[in-house]
Structure 1
Amino acid sequence: MRILHIVNDADTGGAQTLIEQLLRVTRPGDEAHLLVLLSPASLSSRLESVATSTTYSGMSRKSVVPAKGVRDVLRLVKKHKIDVVHSHLHQSDLINELTPHGRPRVSTLHSSLDVSSNPVAKVVWRTVAGLSGRFEAVVACSASAKDFAAKLGYRFPVNQMRIVHNGSATASAPAPEPSGDPVFVHLARFAEPKDHPNLFRAFARVRERVPGATLVCAGHGVDNDNRELTRELDRLGIRDAVSLLGPVDNVRELIRTAHAVVFSSYHEALPMAGIEAIGEGVPVITTDTGDAKDLTVDERAVVPVRNSEALAEAMTWYVQQSPEGREHMRQASWDRAATEFDALVTADTYRQLYVQLL
Structure 2
Amino acid sequence: MKVIHVIIGLNLGGAELMLFRLSEALNGDDDQEHSVISLTDYGKLGPILTSKGVSVTALGMRNILDVPRVSYKLWQIFRLRKPDIVQTWMYHADLIGGIVARFSGIKNIIWGVRSTNIHRGVSKVTRGIRILCVFFSYVIPKLIVCAAEASRKAHVRIGYSQRRMTVIPNGFDTKLLTATLEDRMQIRTAAGFSESDLVVGSLGRYNPAKDHDNFITAAAFLAKDYPNLKFLLVGRELDLENEVVMKRIRETGYSDRFVLLGERHDVARCLKAMDIFCLHSQTEGFPNVLGEAMTMGLPCVTTDVGDASFLIGDTGTVVEPHNALALAEALRYLVVAGETFRLDLGKKAQRRIHENFTMSCVKLRFKSLYDHLSLDDS
TM-score in same-fold range (> 0.5): yes
Matched to 1:105, the amino acid is: I
Whole-angstrom distance in 2 between the partners of 1:192 and 1:318: 26
Q: Does 1:296 align with 2:312?
A: yes
Aligned equivalent of 2:111: 107
Displacement of 1:251 after TM fit? Answer: 2.4
1:168 is aligned to 2:172: yes
Instruction: Using the TM superposition, give the Cα deviation of residue 119 of structure 1 relative to its aligned residue in structure 2, in angstroms.
Output: 1.5
How many angstroms apart in 1 are the aligned matches of 2:175 and 2:288?
Answer: 15
Q: What number of residue pairs does the alignment pair up?
A: 355
Mapped to 2, the partners of 1:174 and 1:317 lie a distance apart of 27
CA contact (8 A) 1:214 1:242 kept: yes
User: Residue in 1 aligned with 2:145?
Assistant: 139
Alignment CA distance shift 1:169-1:25 (3 Å): same
Do 2:179 and 2:268's aligned partners in 1 also have CA atoms closer than 8 Å? no
Change (3 A) 1:270 1:124: same
- 1:182 aligned residue (198, 203, 206): 198
AA aligned opposite 1:135: P
Query: Which amino acid in structure 1 is aligned with residue 97 of structure 2?
Result: N
1:52: Cα distance to partner? 1.8
5+ residue gaps, structure 1, are none
Deviations 1:219-277 (A, max 9, x none): 34444433322222222234443344443333233222222221111222220111222
Number of the residue aligned with 2:189 = none
Q: How does 1:7-156 map to 2 (within 5 A)?
A: 7-26=7-26, 27-50=29-52, 52-60=54-62, 62-63=63-64, 66-99=67-100, 100-103=103-106, 104-114=108-118, 115-133=120-138, 134-154=140-160, 156=161
Q: Percent identity?
A: 23
- What is the distance in 2 between the residues matched to 1:347 and 1:243? 37
Give the direction of change, closer, same or farther, for the CA distance of 1:221–1:120 in structure 2 (3 Å limit). farther
Give how far 1:14 is off.
Answer: 1.3
Shift of the 223–101 alpha-carbon distance from structure 1 to 2, 3 Å rule, reads: farther
Measure, in 1, the Cα distance between the counterparts of 2:177 and 2:137.
41
Confirm or deny: 8 A CA contact 2:4 2:37 kept in the other structure: yes
Q: What do the CA deviations read for 1:130-158 (whole angstroms, capped 9, x no partner)?
A: 2112111001111100011112221x2x1
TM-score normalized by the length of structure 1: 0.90
What corresponds to 1:308 in structure 2?
A: 324
Q: 3-state SS of the aligned residue for 2:286?
A: coil
Contact 2:23 2:34 in 1 (8 A): yes
**Distance of 1:215 and 1:209 partners within structure 2:** 14
Partners of 1:352 and 1:285 in 2: how far apart?
Answer: 34
Aligned AA (1:161): M
CA distance in 2, matches of 1:235, 1:283: 28
How far apart, CA to CA, are the structure 1 residues paired with 2:300 and 2:104?
42
CA 1:211–1:9 in 2, change beyond 3 Å: closer, same or farther?
Answer: farther
**Deviation (angstroms), 1:176:** 7.1
Cα distance in 2 between the residues matched to 1:288 and 1:302: 6
CA distance in 2, matches of 1:59, 1:180: 50
Tell me which residue corresponds to 1:212: 228
Change (3 A) 1:132 1:42: same
Distance 1:229 1:77, change over 3 A: same
CA contact (8 A) 2:24 2:54 kept: no
Match of 1:280 among 273, 289, 296: 296
The letter for the 2-side match of 1:94 is: L
Call closer, same or farther: CA 1:222–1:76 in 2, change over 3 Å.
Answer: farther
2:248 alignment partner AA: E
Instruction: Work out the CA distance in 2 between the residues paired with 1:102 and 1:307.
Output: 50
Q: Which amino acid aligns with 2:92?
A: Q
Distance in 1, matches of 2:273 and 2:57, equals 33
Give distance in 1, aligned partners of 2:175 and 2:277: 16
Distance 1:53 1:89 in 2: 20
User: TM-score, normalised on structure 2?
Assistant: 0.85
